[in-house]
Chains A and B, each alone.
Chain A
């Protein structure tokens, strides 16, 4: 099937926009199960995007990356989180430290900022994915924003993983993906990290009886206590 460059860049732009939407939706989401589902959707859109770019640019290693993303980010990791939330009886709502409309506005400001920042790259790049670099950078920063403004440790980890998703996305849009060995290494690291996080969650939960990060502030040394 002959797909013109024109149509291809439209499809890529569309998928990029969908990834951005899932990022905003994760910022606005109040329920943990919803967050996990959105994370899975984000992974799915990324996998499709990567596969498509791989097809159009004739880079077969992107297919492997896409498959890896699909397996890990869409199925395995969400399943792990689901089990964790269930086992640890974590509260199903997430509280924000900043209210949601403010987060939305910060998100928009981040998009504008990343547009400004990636302007030189856009001038020089000749790839068909160059216009999606803005969205990729914005989603990285929104993942970090998610980590900052959430109270619950599970959601912070999901924010971290969303950041990793977005970095992967940025790599695809800037240079058609990283070398395969780097990608495999990163994927393995993510998997190990998820297991380690799971172990930590169990320990934290046993110690504090909750995964609220505000409680962990008690760990700092304070002369006023005791």
Chain B
């Protein structure tokens, strides 16, 4: 645990906080290009956040401390998760405090409190959003776990730093199990971060909302923090996917000299990931709510097939 690793950790956390809106902006820009609209620019999310920060916060009369505390908790857990996933380098002091299962549970805490704050004010929309979100989360968990199980079977560990190292030191093998797990993981990312085909992040119709319905009552700075958190969540899930499946480019040594190259690789991979996300989002339509269990069932099936293929074919 040298001084270098702490600097790397700090840099990575700042990068997560600072770059997540840019990634969200990239996804939105690509979507505009695909849909033939003109784009407001890559940095529009920053402008939106800035605007929200300067606005007044309006709270309902009966908002409890949970409602006011949740935005900070969400932001905090996302930042903490950003310090655990190897994005630039695996030499992170915090990476040893949590493995992949703990990471998923950190996101689960955030979701728990967000669902509670959806129910806090006592409107019908908030309860609806919470109820739908918890249903989707409960079906996404087994699929996510199966995908992680497959990855950890192949790499013999659940610690992300270790997984990256094993992939680096091994040969480049095209395994069906990892491919299935990867496809399942992509499907899960779309469900967990509330993208099409599970949830439309840009919808204005309350009855079609899932994530947005829980945050309808938030305004001003609170809303800015929550929006920032959801951008960070997308960013972090994509980085998790990259770290578990395609980590080439992440620095394995602890020196600061390797960081610029790692940064360049990360930007390139994020660009490609954004493209894949937008292709899927543009090509599919949002499913009705009770088709989502089938979708997640397909994800679970693929992950299970990946696990079975590992034993059967290897």
Contact = CB atoms under 8 A, between A and B. Distances in A.
A24 B180 contact: no
Contact of A101 (B176, B179, B297, B312): B297
B304 interface: yes
Contacts of A112: 308
A131 interface: yes
B176 A115 contact: no
Contacts of B8: none
Interface stretch (A14-22, A55-63, A183-191, A213-221): A14-22
Given A10-B174, A10-B175, A108-B305, A132 B298 contact: no
Interface in B48-105: none
Interface in B279-314: 293-294, 297-298, 301-302, 304-305, 308-309, 311-314
A54 to B, nearest CB: 20
A22 to B, nearest CB: 12
A5 to B, nearest CB: 13
A131 B313 contact: yes
Contact of B305 (A13, A20, A101): A20
A178 interface: no
Contacts of A10: 173-175
Nearest to A100: B294
Contacts of A13: 175-176, 309, 313
Contacts of A132: 313
B294 A101 contact: yes
Interface string A102-146: 001001100110010000000000000001101100000000000
A25 B302 CA distance: 11
Contacts of B294: 28, 100-101
Interface residues of A, number: 22
A129 to B, nearest CB: 11
B293 A101 contact: yes
A9 to B, nearest CB: 9
Interface in B6-57: none
Interface string B150-190: 00000000000000000000000111100110000000000
B302, B312, B314 pick with most chain A CB within 10 angstroms: B312
Given A13-B313, A14-B179, A28 B298 contact: yes
Contacts of A101: 293-294, 297
17 contacts: A10-B174, A13-B309, A14-B174, A14-B179, A16-B313, A17-B176, A17-B180, A17-B309, A20-B305, A21-B305, A28-B294, A100-B297, A101-B293, A104-B298, A108-B305, A108-B308, A111-B305
Closest 6 CB pairs between A and B?
A17-B176, A13-B313, A101-B297, A131-B313, A104-B301, A134-B312
